[in-house]
Amino acid sequence: MINVSLIGSTGYAGIELVRLLIAHPEVNIAHLVSHSHAGEPISHVYPNLKGICEKICTSLDIDAITADSDVVFTSLPHGASDDIVQVLHERGIKVIDLSGDFRYTDISTYEKWYGRTHNSPHLSNMAVYGLPELYRDDIKNASIVANPGCYTTCSILPLAPLVAHNLIDTKSIIIDAKSGATGAGKTPSQPLHFCELDENMRAYKIATHRHTSEIEEKLSLIADKDITLSFTPHILPIKRGIFCTIYANLNDKYNADFIYDIYNKFYADEPFIYIYNNEETLPELKFVNGSNHCHIGFVIDKRLNRIIIVSVLDNLIKGAGGQAIQNMNIMFEIKETTGLDGPAWYL
């Protein structure tokens, strides 16, 4: 059994991770740290756990965590992760961090887009970007994994093969992203008030969202040239799911079969990636919500010689806690799909 602790257990990403870990056959939950609910049973905060997990949330106690944990998941706001990960790392604990703090190869990009000075750039440099489909071998031996977020995973996975094979004009990439409201977190606010979002949708942080820089950096590393792109996040009146509609001009007149082969070879044997061929319907949120899967479909617009891609995943699973468990499975050399093999709910 892998002994795991969570820091930041009662936010939406945290509690989804708890839910998935409860069902993981090789995991023992050691500590559930929650600043805001220390002393309360987790099942009091989330009554879906009544009779299932009655563990008491605790305050942060590094000694206790160190003593009992093989790995710690940190699900904290950026900035807050920075220092705690450093402490845990010094104690020799493996960390899977769900914040943006350790995701960047170039610290200056991080500091520019996040507007803060990083306290442990040496650790950021040694952290591995936890996208298993691209960095599985590095993840195996990582001591710090920087778990990518929902928007970035749903953007990088469909674009990586095209960029790697130099099939698209990298100046023309536009990612129109739509997210369920869980992506905005648990804290009540006017824009997330039920009556303000229901039957509505909105765009936000156009041209300035931090994940733009993360997507750009990872794709640039793959392409071996600087890529800048448009990333427009929207919030939908639903709970779960990321839906990306991605546009790029093709470098040549590729047909759909050719692109389909590229994708299938790039993601051959990947258990969580499914590529739609040309004759199928396009991916929808209900095909992935509740699962760790990412579905990718596309259309070639021959008139404009442009590819339009639709990619979908569950922001709380493949875009957060599920991917974190996938990384843990790799790090602890158990079957990568353990605890993650259920299909999406559809209903």
Site for a second copy in 308-327 (CB under 8 A): 308, 310, 316
According to the binding rule CB under 8 A, does residue 228 interact with a second copy? yes
Helix axes 322-331, 132-140, angle to 10 degrees: 40
Active site residue 154: no
Write the Ramachandran bin of 256: left for phi over 0, alpha for psi from -120 to 50, otherwise beta.
alpha
User: Which residue type, as a one-letter code, is found at position 212?
Assistant: T
218 touches a second copy by CB under 8 A: no
Contacting range for a second copy; rule: CB under 8 A; set: 26-34, 87-95, 105-113, 299-307: 299-307
Give me the residue label for tokens 């920087």. 146
The minimum distance between CB 235 and a second copy, in angstroms, equals 9
**Site track 160-199 with a second copy (rule: CB under 8 A), x = hit:** ------------x-x-x-x--xx---x-xxx-xxxxxxxx
Q: Which of 57, 150, 154, 294 is catalytic?
A: 150
Two tokens at 228? 């800048």
**23 - beta bridge partners?**
none
For residues 74 and 95, give the distance between their C-alpha atoms in angstroms, rounded to a whole number: 7
Cβ closest to a second copy, residue 9 vs residue 120:
9
- Least CB distance to a second copy at residue 129 (A): 23
Q: Is residue 112 a contact residue for a second copy (CB under 8 A)?
A: no
Q: Kindly list the distances between the CA atom of residue 134 and the CA atoms of 7, 48, 164, 268, in Å, as whole numbers in the listed order.
A: 26, 35, 11, 12
Structure tokens at 97: 């961090």
Structure tokens belonging to residue 74: 């940190």
What part of residues 265-284 is at the interface with a second copy (CB under 8 A)? 271, 274, 280-284
Residue 52 makes contact with a second copy by CB under 8 A: yes
**Residue 39 near a second copy by CB under 8 A:** no
- Cα–Cα distance between 114 and 134 in angstroms, integer? 24
Query: CB-wise, 141 or 189, nearer to a second copy?
Result: 189
CA–CA gap between residue 335 and residue 333 (Å, rounded) = 7
Closest distance to a second copy from the beta carbon of 248 (Å)? 10
Q: Which residues form the catalytic set?
A: 150
